[in-house]
């Protein structure tokens, strides 16, 4: 093994706590080499990975990686949050004891990087100078060069972020060891994967995967699970799985910032990268800040809630991304962007990539195309080459692209503003076919938090056996919860409640269907319209219509310029089906009853909505 002292000296790492951390884990994992990473190393590392066949070239200075076929997604059942107090256990955080978890992971990682390089990645999960920078510093150790490529795109990477710190010991210690991927899914006796955020010790230990969601430790493990815990313990901020956009009204010069949470397949990334429809494009612009994580805090100077995307890039799902659904995402993947595609289909002759939904049909000529497992499409039976069946898919459903925020064409010019941006609205949205209206504004902070805690998306009969029933996903944080749900609700009330000028809360739904299954609302670029109404409501230019579950637009208040929608469809989109809502309220009560020590304000908000429904 390389001499760690010499390597760290040559890399300019003088922080004694970082040096001790690297040397300790080098002794445990026993790599053959150690290499310290700066963002400037990207081109050299890409060349090395190409030479070794770890990644493949995509035309236009882009790249392709194919992860092991069993290792293609997060594994929630093997993802845990460990602390030193059993009181931190919640319904969703898969709590474990910190001491026991660290011992388990050390033993699993012992000697597991032999023959490999340990890459030392100092990183920052915030703009430099951010008020929360103290919580954003980290060092990831990984034995995967592909992980390095992703991290350089997803975080601010460099030794400079770990030197001359006010508290040199205050950084996240994150260790990723790929482990033995061959035995994944072979049962508990062989499958030793464990992805642990040891939150109370600000340590992340992930063993047994090289998939991005398990291996990019600055992203979900630090940016969401640990940040959420840090914010709670410090009582300073919220770390949420939110999108963040800015909308500018050129006529008035006013700029609004809206963030919010959406469960999987509920339109979060498409909303984050939305452009205004052509008919509104001269008056309004939409700017992208982020599609996955927002940290929220209150600025004591002006009493407003501020938000910041801690990430430096986007780790997006490729499936169904095209010129109609998300032209902004496609533009961010254009030639010259040095984007990294993962588990899409790849043509070894032309160096092209393709995924389901990219075009209506797969390429007609299958010559040279390999699927996400690396198997030639041309070697399949003819009837399975372009069948469109799930089992014959070319790309994995969770195939990804990794690109820096700077590649997004409408990225906000101030996306690295250290103090973040003032938040005007917090929205929640799930996929619901017939109960949830297009938009409903909420009257108070407790009702807004209550709505977030009861956020969900409809299950399908095939997936859950309960057609039309929500799978609840509180504030879209169900897979990322790091402390108890009752305390989570209390922390939300505390942080947002400290603001003198509070954002307005609302719930949106782009997925209402008619009896024939047709989506009533066109969605995508037209989703700006209900958000503009929400800003009008907040600032007194609209009054809306009071309902038991919130305020919905008067149809005349929506800006429908250039939009062809019937009065009947509009009425359906804004209708409140009180019978269905009463059924839903019973389910919500059952859902909330599972949360220990829920604040009384939340249950009072529930009772108030129920009373309004029952007295109509």
Domain assignment present for residue 78? The answer is yes
Are 460 and 508 found together in one domain?
yes
Last residue of a domain, which of 404, 425, 443?
404
Residue 465: pLDDT band (50, 70, 90) is very low
Last residue of a domain, which of 219, 235, 251?
235
Secondary structure element (H or E) that encloses residue 215, with its range: helix 212-215
Are 280 and 348 found together in one domain?
no
Tens-place pLDDT, residues 351-410: 999 999 999 999 999 999 999 999 999 999 999 999 999 999 999 999 999 999 999 999
Last residue of a domain, which of 381, 404, 427?
404
Identify the pLDDT of residue 462: 34
Domain assignment present for residue 544? The answer is yes
β-strands 345-347, 353-354 pairing: antiparallel
With a cut of 50, say whether residue 319 has pLDDT above it.
Answer: yes
Tens-place pLDDT, residues 290-299: 999 999 999 9
Identify the pLDDT of residue 330: 96
Phi-psi region of 476 (alpha: psi -120 to 50; beta: other; left: phi over 0): left
Domain assignment present for residue 65? The answer is no
Tens-place pLDDT, residues 527-563: 999 999 999 999 999 999 999 999 999 999 999 999 9
Residue 460: pLDDT band (50, 70, 90) is very low
Identify the pLDDT of residue 401: 96
Are 353 and 306 found together in one domain?
no
With a cut of 70, say whether residue 346 has pLDDT above it.
Answer: yes
Are 225 and 350 found together in one domain?
no
Cβ 71 vs Cβ 86: under 8 Å: no
Are 291 and 345 found together in one domain?
no
Average pLDDT over residues 476-504: 97
Range with the poorest average pLDDT among 235-244, 271-280, 458-467: 458-467
- Report how far residue 342's alpha carbon sits from residue 505's, in angstroms, rounded to the nearest whole number: 36
* Sign of the CA dihedral running 165, 161, 234, 204: negative
Identify the pLDDT of residue 77: 86
Domain assignment present for residue 457? The answer is yes
- Report how far residue 377's alpha carbon sits from residue 363's, in angstroms, rounded to the nearest whole number: 11
Identify the pLDDT of residue 459: 67
Tokens read off for 284: 């309004």
Say how many domains are in the chain.
3
Task: Give me the DSSP letters along 524-548.
Answer: GGGGHHHHHHHHHHHTTS---EEET
Q: What is the mean pLDDT of the chain?
A: 95
Are 398 and 418 found together in one domain?
no
What share of the chain has pLDDT > 90, as a percent? 91
- Report how far residue 427's alpha carbon sits from residue 503's, in angstroms, rounded to the nearest whole number: 10
Contacts of 515 (CB under 8 A, 6+ apart): none
- Reading across the β-sheet that carries 254-261, which strands appear in turn? 284-290, 243-249, 254-261, 425-429, 504-508, 439-441, 550-552, 545-547
Residue 463: pLDDT band (50, 70, 90) is very low
Say which CATH number the domain at 129 has.
3.40.449.10
Domain assignment present for residue 299? The answer is yes
Residue 470: pLDDT band (50, 70, 90) is confident
Say which CATH number the domain at 348 has.
2.170.8.10
CA distances from 244 to 86, 273, 423, 608 (A): 34, 9, 9, 30
Query: Pick from 260, 296, 141, 130: which is nearest to 207 by CA?
Result: 141
Tokens read off for 353: 């990539």
Domain assignment present for residue 517? The answer is yes
Phi-psi region of 158 (alpha: psi -120 to 50; beta: other; left: phi over 0): left
Query: What are the start-end ranges of the H helices in 393-434?
Result: none
Identify the pLDDT of residue 616: 66
β-strands 172-177, 137-142 pairing: parallel
With a cut of 80, say whether residue 2 has pLDDT above it.
Answer: no
Torsion of CA 316, 321, 326, 331, to 10 degrees: 80
**How many residues does the structure list for the chain?**
616
Query: Pick from 258, 287, 290, 271: which is nearest to 526 by CA?
Result: 271
- Report how far residue 304's alpha carbon sits from residue 453's, in angstroms, rounded to the nearest whole number: 23
Task: Give me the DSSP letters along 304-333.
Answer: EEEEE---SEEEEE-TT-STTT-HHHHHTT
Are 226 and 354 found together in one domain?
no
Tens-place pLDDT, residues 500-518: 999 999 999 999 999 999 9
Domain assignment present for residue 10? The answer is yes
Cβ 386 vs Cβ 362: under 8 Å: yes
Identify the pLDDT of residue 468: 59
β-strands 194-198, 79-83 pairing: parallel
Are 337 and 374 found together in one domain?
yes
Are 98 and 220 found together in one domain?
yes
With a cut of 90, say whether residue 265 has pLDDT above it.
Answer: no
Domain assignment present for residue 59? The answer is no
- Report how far residue 249's alpha carbon sits from residue 284's, in angstroms, rounded to the nearest whole number: 5
Residue 461: pLDDT band (50, 70, 90) is very low
Are 350 and 371 found together in one domain?
yes
Are 79 and 128 found together in one domain?
yes
Identify the pLDDT of residue 280: 98
- Report how far residue 337's alpha carbon sits from residue 586's, in angstroms, rounded to the nearest whole number: 50
Identify the pLDDT of residue 474: 97
Secondary structure element (H or E) that encloses residue 578, with its range: helix 578-593
Residue 615: pLDDT band (50, 70, 90) is confident
Give me the domain span that covers residue 324.
315-404
Torsion of CA 367, 371, 377, 379, to 10 degrees: 120
Tens-place pLDDT, residues 135-194: 999 999 999 999 999 999 999 999 999 988 999 999 999 999 999 888 777 766 778 999
Average pLDDT over residues 227-235: 98
Are 207 and 353 found together in one domain?
no
């Amino acid at each position: 093994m390389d001499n760690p002292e010499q390597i760290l000296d040559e890399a300019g790492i003088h922080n004694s706590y970082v040096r001790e951390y690297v040397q300790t884990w080098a002794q445990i994992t026993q790599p053959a080499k150690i290499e310290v990473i700066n963002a400037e190393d990207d081109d050299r590392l890409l060349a090395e990975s190409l030479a070794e066949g770890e990644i493949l070239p995509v035309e236009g200075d882009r790249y392709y990686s194919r992860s092991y076929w069993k290792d293609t997604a997060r594994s929630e059942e093997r993802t845990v949050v460990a602390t030193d107090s059993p009181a931190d256990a919640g319904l969703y955080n898969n709590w474990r004891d910190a001491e026991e978890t660290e011992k388990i992971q050390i033993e699993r990682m012992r000697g597991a990087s032999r023959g490999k390089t340990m890459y030392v990645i100092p990183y920052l999960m915030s703009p430099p100078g951010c008020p929360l920078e103290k919580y954003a510093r980290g060092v990831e150790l990984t034995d995967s060069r592909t992980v390095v490529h992703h991290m350089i795109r997803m975080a601010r990477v460099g030794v400079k972020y770990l030197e001359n710190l006010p508290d040199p010991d205050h950084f996240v210690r994150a260790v990723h060891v790929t482990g033995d991927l061959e035995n994944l899914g072979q049962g508990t006796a062989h499958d030793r994967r464990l992805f642990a955020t040891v939150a109370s010790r600000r340590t992340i230990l992930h063993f047994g995967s090289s998939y991005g969601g398990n291996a990019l430790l600055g992203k979900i493990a630090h940016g969401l699970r640990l940040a959420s815990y840090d914010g709670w313990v410090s009582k300073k901020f919220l770390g949420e799985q939110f999108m963040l956009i800015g909308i500018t009204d050129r006529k008035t010069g006013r700029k609004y910032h809206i963030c919010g949470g959406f469960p999987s397949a509920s339109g979060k990334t498409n909303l984050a990268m939305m452009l205004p429809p052509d008919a509104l494009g001269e008056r309004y612009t939409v700017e992208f800040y982020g599609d996955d994580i927002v940290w929220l805090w209150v600025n004591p100077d002006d009493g407003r809630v501020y938000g910041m995307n801690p990430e430096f890039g986007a780790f997006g799902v490729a499936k169904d991304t095209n010129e109609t659904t998300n032209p902004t995402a496609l533009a961010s993947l254009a030639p010259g962007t040095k984007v990294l595609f993962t588990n899409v289909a790849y043509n070894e002759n032309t160096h092209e990539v393709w995924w389901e939904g990219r075009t209506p049909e797969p390429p007609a000529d299958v010559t040279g195309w390999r699927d996400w497992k690396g198997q030639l499409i041309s070697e399949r039976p003819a009837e399975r080459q372009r069948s469109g069946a799930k089992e014959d898919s070319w790309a994995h459903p969770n195939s990804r692209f990794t690109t820096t925020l700077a590649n997004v064409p409408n990225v906000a010019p101030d996306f690295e503003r250290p103090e973040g941006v003032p938040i005007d609205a917090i929205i929640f949205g799930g996929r619901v076919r017939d109960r949830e209206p297009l938009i409903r504004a909420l009257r108070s902070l407790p009702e807004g938090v209550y709505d977030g805690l009861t956020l969900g998306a409809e299950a399908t009969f095939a997936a859950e056996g309960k057609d039309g029933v929500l799978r609840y996903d509180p504030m879209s944080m169900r897979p990322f919860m790091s402390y108890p749900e009752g305390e989570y609700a209390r922390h939300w009330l505390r942080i947002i409640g400290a603001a003198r000028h509070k954002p307005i809360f609302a719930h949106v739904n782009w997925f209402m269907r008619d009896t024939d299954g047709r989506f009533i609302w066109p969605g995508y670029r037209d989703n700006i319209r209900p958000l503009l109404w929400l800003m009008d409501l907040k600032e007194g230019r609209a009054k809306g219509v009071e309902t038991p579950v919130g305020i919905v637009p008067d149809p005349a208040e929506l800006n429908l310029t250039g939009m062809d929608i019937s009065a009947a469809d509009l009425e359906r989109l804004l209708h409140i089906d009180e019978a269905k809502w009463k059924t839903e309220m019973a389910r919500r009560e059952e859902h909330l009853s599972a949360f220990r020590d829920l604040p009384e304000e939340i249950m009072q908000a529930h009772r108030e909505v129920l009373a309004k429904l029952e007295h109509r």
